[in-house]
Copies of this chain bind each other. A is one copy, B any other.
Amino acid sequence: MNDSLAQSLTCIECGAAHPLTYRLECERCRGLLELRYDVSRLQKDGPALLTGSGLWRYAPVLPISDPAHRLTLGEGGTPLLDCPRLAAELGVRRLLLKFDGPNPTGTVKDRSSATAVAAALRFGYRATSVVSSGNAGSSIAAYSARAGLPSLIFAYERASAPKLLHMAATTANLIIYKGVYDDLITIWDRLVEERLFFDCGASRNAYKQEGKKTLAYEIAEQTGWAPPDVVVAPVAVGETFIATARGFREMHEAGWIARAPLMVAAQATRANAVARAFRDGTAITPLKIGYTVAEGLAAGDPGKKGAWVLRLLREGKGLVGDAEDDEILATQRRLARVEGIWAGPTGVATLAVLAGLLAQKRLDPGQTFCAIISETGLKTEAEPPSRTGVAFDYDTLRRLVTERLA
């Protein structure tokens, strides 16, 4: 019951199939690996394979075979919110938001942290590590703590205060790094090769990435296996985008859905290496980037996964867009006021990009859209409103209330 149907780690470049060990690239060609499953079983049994709730409901399409390794903090099962008021403002037929803020650490990262740390247990590792702009760090630290494993968390010096607090609370080994993500990752990757810790990074580990595939499965199941026409996913290194696109492709191959949605990749303009390459019809040129309010999208060099995103976009006739920081912040405010959803800048970049593509008439507004909102707003660092309070008596309170509600 609820067995994993994973069969191989298959190279996305040369197609070589490897057994299910801890392996980060193809032995033959150094290509990235993806997990492949028993599609005939998926076809035969259909969604009746799924049992339970949350992320592990989708255990048949995840690579963790031993239930004892399936650790959880209650990730997944997040709401898919129909937003008619915002849809009307954007002039589209229907808008659904897959709001991943209500995950245990407040972000989509919990999906991949669950499968990453589960894989660390599966392969007998005694420690984990990740280089993070903030969200991945607190998530990997939390899941490692839950598993009883020490974690080494490298955090970006400009991470927001709530993110730093969260990381410091959940790991005994928080190390603040100077400089940009892309530089540290290069030397950190060498320690991964030496197997000093389990790789909880986003750039190569197929087991980690796989948890995010549940986004696609949940969107499909929550729409009665009739997913929206268009799904907008964020792209930093590309993990969420790739996993979501693969999930829909897998369900389509298995006959669970009639067609896979068109995928739109969303980037911050200040970190838009994939968007540029797509527009120019070229390969990716790594960018030296600075700060963007969409902290989780601050990757200038998406590496091999960036190339994978490009390929998926070109094969699937997808689109890509980017949004400026001011557009992202305006979208954050708008979403809170119009629908009551408080999401972070990283989280709303998809919605900002969707609004931009609609304004440029690059998408048909008669379609149904889904944007993945990848993080809660509670990790946002900004100046709070003034705390200068007013003392009321009955008359002043009554006057204020009637004025405000007039």
Pick from B54, B81, B145, B405: contact of A338, CB under 8 Å: B145
Kindly specify which of A21-29, A95-103, A296-304 makes contact with the partner chain: A95-103
Asked if A166 is at the interface (CB within 8 A of a chain B CB), the reply is yes
**Do A401 and B102 touch (CB < 8 A)?**
no
CB distance from A183 to the nearest CB of B (A): 9
Alpha-carbon separation in the docked complex, A347 to B334 (Å): 29
**Do B405 and A197 touch (CB < 8 A)?**
yes
Kindly specify which of A31-39, A170-178, A263-271 makes contact with the partner chain: A170-178
Q: Which B residues are CB-close (under 8 A) to A400? A: 175
Pick from B175, B391, B404: contact of A173, CB under 8 Å: B404
Alpha-carbon separation in the docked complex, A376 to B379 (Å): 11
A157, A158, A404: most-surrounded residue (chain B CB, <10 A): A404
Alpha-carbon separation in the docked complex, A99 to B142 (Å): 14
Alpha-carbon separation in the docked complex, A99 to B74 (Å): 9
Q: Which B residues are CB-close (under 8 A) to A382? A: 165
Q: Which B residues are CB-close (under 8 A) to A377? A: 165-166, 169
Alpha-carbon separation in the docked complex, A194 to B394 (Å): 12
Instruction: Encode A74-98 as 1/0 by CB contact (under 8 A) with B.
Output: 1001110100010000000000000
Instruction: Encode A41-55 as 1/0 by CB contact (under 8 A) with B.
Output: 000000000000110
Asked if A168 is at the interface (CB within 8 A of a chain B CB), the reply is yes
Q: Which B residues are CB-close (under 8 A) to A74? A: 78-79, 81, 99, 102
- Minimal Cβ-Cβ distance residue in B for A126: B405
CB distance from A38 to the nearest CB of B (A): 28
Q: Which B residues are CB-close (under 8 A) to A391? A: 177-179
Asked if A7 is at the interface (CB within 8 A of a chain B CB), the reply is no
Alpha-carbon separation in the docked complex, A126 to B187 (Å): 59
Asked if A115 is at the interface (CB within 8 A of a chain B CB), the reply is no
Asked if A132 is at the interface (CB within 8 A of a chain B CB), the reply is no
Alpha-carbon separation in the docked complex, A391 to B54 (Å): 39
Q: Which A residues between 307 and 337 are near B, CB-CB below 8 angstroms?
A: 332-333, 336-337
Pick from B105, B177, B197, B378: contact of A389, CB under 8 Å: B177
Q: How many residues of A contact B (CB 8 A)?
A: 89
Asked if A122 is at the interface (CB within 8 A of a chain B CB), the reply is no
Kindly specify which of A146-154, A235-243, A246-254, A275-283 makes contact with the partner chain: A146-154
Asked if A360 is at the interface (CB within 8 A of a chain B CB), the reply is no
Alpha-carbon separation in the docked complex, A99 to B143 (Å): 15
Asked if A106 is at the interface (CB within 8 A of a chain B CB), the reply is yes
**Do A392 and B177 touch (CB < 8 A)?**
yes
Alpha-carbon separation in the docked complex, A161 to B212 (Å): 31
Alpha-carbon separation in the docked complex, A204 to B158 (Å): 45
Asked if A224 is at the interface (CB within 8 A of a chain B CB), the reply is no
| Inter-chain pairs besides A74-B81, A187-B397, 14 sampled, C-beta below 8 Å | A53-B77, A102-B102, A150-B405, A157-B388, A162-B162, A164-B384, A165-B384, A166-B378, A170-B337, A172-B337, A187-B393, A190-B398, A196-B401, A197-B401
Can you report 24 residue pairs joining A to B where beta carbons are below 8 Å apart? A53-B77, A73-B99, A73-B341, A99-B104, A104-B341, A105-B342, A106-B378, A126-B405, A129-B401, A141-B340, A142-B342, A143-B340, A145-B338, A145-B339, A146-B340, A157-B387, A165-B385, A166-B377, A169-B332, A176-B386, A176-B387, A177-B392, A184-B392, A378-B378
The 10 closest A-B pairs by CB, nearest first: A74-B79, A178-B389, A145-B340, A142-B340, A146-B340, A378-B378, A157-B389, A169-B336, A164-B384, A161-B384
Residue numbers of A with Cβ under 8 A of B are 53-54, 72-74, 77-79, 81, 85, 99, 101-106, 126-127, 129, 138, 141-146, 148, 150, 152, 157-158, 161-162, 164-166, 168-170, 172-179, 184, 187-188, 190-191, 194, 196-197, 332-333, 336-342, 376-380, 382, 384-394, 397-398, 400-402, 404-405
